[in-house]
Amino acid sequence: MRHLKRGRKLGRSASHRRALMRNLASSLFLHGRIVTTVEKAKEARRFAEGLITTARKGARAEDQGKKLHYFRLIISRLHHKEAARKLFNEVGPSMLDRDGGYTRILRLAKNRLGDNASQAVFELVNYEVPAAADAS
């Protein structure tokens, strides 16, 4: 029985899984939207939403020392300074009015060509699709 066995293994070792989650979350915060498999997106959602909650706490903190503390917590978990800066300065403050559910997973109709894996778009809830340039 799998009582209290949380999380998917995704066919990877523990260190590889940790690196995968860090990379998926960093890409999500830098680009706002990524395409990955449904299983990876569901697992990365847990990791990313925890980081966004920490960024929200940092955005709410009045004391400069507390802000630094939350920023260092994010860097220690994410290992990507540019993504951590964007998360802390842009994403976190923009989610202050939400009580959770900061990300969305949209399944794509077509499976991946190489291995027929189900694909999904993993994005931040406040992500806006850039307007396409006019062809004229």
Residue 130 domain-assigned (yes or no): no
Residue 73 domain-assigned (yes or no): yes
Domain count, the chain: 1
Residue 4 domain-assigned (yes or no): no
Question: Pick from 22, 84, 11, 19: which is nearest to 54 by CA?
Answer: 84
Residue 47's pLDDT is 97
Identify the residue with better confidence: 131 or 95: 95
Is pLDDT of 133 > 80? no
Residue 43 domain-assigned (yes or no): yes
User: pLDDT tens for residues 12-64?
Assistant: 999 999 999 999 999 999 999 999 999 999 999 999 999 999 999 999 999 99
Parent domain of 37: 16-124
Residue 33's pLDDT is 96
Residue 113 domain-assigned (yes or no): yes
User: pLDDT tens for residues 60-119?
Assistant: 999 999 999 999 999 999 999 999 999 999 999 999 999 999 999 999 999 999 999 999
Q: Specify the pTM.
A: 0.91
Residue 95 domain-assigned (yes or no): yes
Q: CB neighbours (10 Å) of residue 40?
A: 19
**127 — pLDDT class (breaks 50, 70, 90):** confident
Residue 93 domain-assigned (yes or no): yes
Q: What is the CATH number of the domain that holds 57?
A: 3.90.1030.10
Residue 5 domain-assigned (yes or no): no
